[in-house]
Amino acid sequence: MRFNRGLTIALLACCAALASMPARAVDGQTMIITGEDYTKWLWGNQHTDGSVYNFTTVPGEGYGDNGQGTEIDLLIASHPSKNIEVTARLQSRFNQNQWTNYGGFGGRNPALENPPGGDCIGGDCGEFDPRSNEYIKMRGLTARFTPGFKWLDAATIGSSDLGMFDPYTIGKIRYIDRDNAKAVLFQGPLGSRKLTYDLIRVSLPRLFAGPNFNTGDYAGQDGAYGLQLKLNPSSLFDITGMYERVRDVEVSARDTGNNGLDNGRDLTSRFKNDVYGAKFGIHPSSKFDLRGLYYYSTADANPKLTPTSFGLSGFSPALAGKVSDPLYKANVDLNDPFGVGLSFNLEYFNIGAQYTSILAARR
């Protein structure tokens, strides 16, 4: 755990140093708010009005092909100084926010019903259900620092779609979840612009990034660390090295009682995942391109804190027990080699059955 704690402290120290930079306000307006609104009008012949969506697979969510609803998306951009940019979105939601709710007032309160009155459908719970009380959610809050250091181009704190890494290690978040991942990210050159780095600490999503779709009872310290080094010596060749370290920890069951009040409590590993490797590209001409990658992963799920199996038809983002496996991939692109408009793309891949990267790209 010393590696995790040491790196986390170093990242926090860098963030504190950046935050302490003098915020010299730029001339004129420092915050800009723009936005858009959208109105949906459903008029179908199935005559259902449980929601302003006509399909869902979520139990109790409600669906409908009739109804009217409006949502608004506010885009916020602020420049406290020339070195700091803050962006965010305020997003309302459709769901059961129909015009017929009349602003979401009233409605039945499920918490006071005995016997229970069933699912809140079609806005009938009004202000007592967040799906029909016209709530607004903060999305994509990000602060980006560009201090002008030779070794640091930018430090980003907050939401990230993780698109700067590789799909097989730390993958780009799918569009509908693009604001959900939160991280501290540092990017810049090492020595010269031919060698650059991406260094990140991502808080693990507690609802899926672990065995049995969770990260256990103690989630505040669970995180993934990634380091990517890119070398581009020329336009003909490039190579990238990657290391990913995931640690899901729990409070040790052996450290109980009042001992923690005196000297803290020990941690124990629930799930560990390490991935390392490299990828390269050879580009001798516009007609030929060769790319390849190799990654090796290890994963270890503690059998005392995670299921030892998931049954015959069970499923989990991570395998049970201690596993390891490599991944190989190669691509050859021939761009119109005969000058007749015919191109070829060849691919070979071999993904080991036990290859595991808990933050690899999802659909």
What confidence tens digit (pLDDT) does each residue in 229-261 have?
Answer: 999 999 999 999 999 999 999 988 876 655 555
Last residue of a domain, one of 118, 143, 168: 143
Q: Where among 143, 176, 211 does a domain terminate?
A: 143
At residue 25, the pLDDT reads 45
User: Would residue 95 count as lying in a domain?
Assistant: yes
Last residue of a domain, one of 120, 143, 166: 143
Q: For residue 2, tell me if it sits in a domain.
A: no
**22 belongs to a structural domain:** no
pLDDT at site 77: 94
How much is the pLDDT for 56?
83
Residue 296 sits in the same domain as residue 316: yes
Which amino acid is residue 248, in one-letter code? D
For residues 34 and 165, give the distance between their C-alpha atoms in angstroms, rounded to a whole number. Answer: 30
Judge if 163 and 46 occupy the same domain. no
What pLDDT, on the 0 to 100 scale, is given for residue 36?
92
* Strand ranges (E), the chain: 31-43, 66-81, 84-92, 136-145, 154-159, 182-190, 192-203, 223-234, 237-251, 267-285, 288-301, 322-334, 344-351
Co-location of 138 and 153 in the same domain: no
Whole-number pLDDT of residue 363: 66
Helix (H) or strand (E) holding 6: helix 2-19
Q: What is the pLDDT of residue 18?
A: 55
Residue 275 included in any domain: yes
In a domain, residue 15? The reply is: no
The pLDDT, as a whole number, for residue 256 is 64
Specify if 135 maps to a domain. yes
Q: How many domains does the chain have?
A: 2
261 and 357 inside one domain: yes
Q: Which residue ranges in the chain fall short of pLDDT 50?
A: 23-26
* pLDDT on residue 141: 95
216 and 237 in contact (C-beta within 8 Å)? Answer: no
Domain span at residue 109 reads 29-143
- Residues 129 and 74 reside in one and the same domain: yes
Within this chain, do residues 265 and 281 fall inside the same structural domain, yes or no? Answer: yes
CA separation for the pair 44, 51 (Å, rounded): 13
Which residue, among 214, 313, 231, 312, has the nearest Cα to 271 in the 3D structure?
214
Are both 86 and 180 inside the same structural domain?
no
Residues 96 and 108 in one domain: yes
Do 118 and 221 have their domain in common? Answer: no
CA distance 10 to 199: 12
**Residue 32: which residues within 8 A CB-CB, separation 6 or more?**
76, 77, 78
Residue 114 forms part of a structural domain: yes
State the DSSP string of 25-79.
PPSS-SEEEEEEEEEEEEE-SS--BS-SSS---STT---BSEEEEEEEEEEEEEE
235 inside domain: yes
Say whether both 75 and 159 belong to one domain: no
* 111 in the same domain as 35: yes
Query: Do both 191 and 303 map to the same domain?
Result: yes
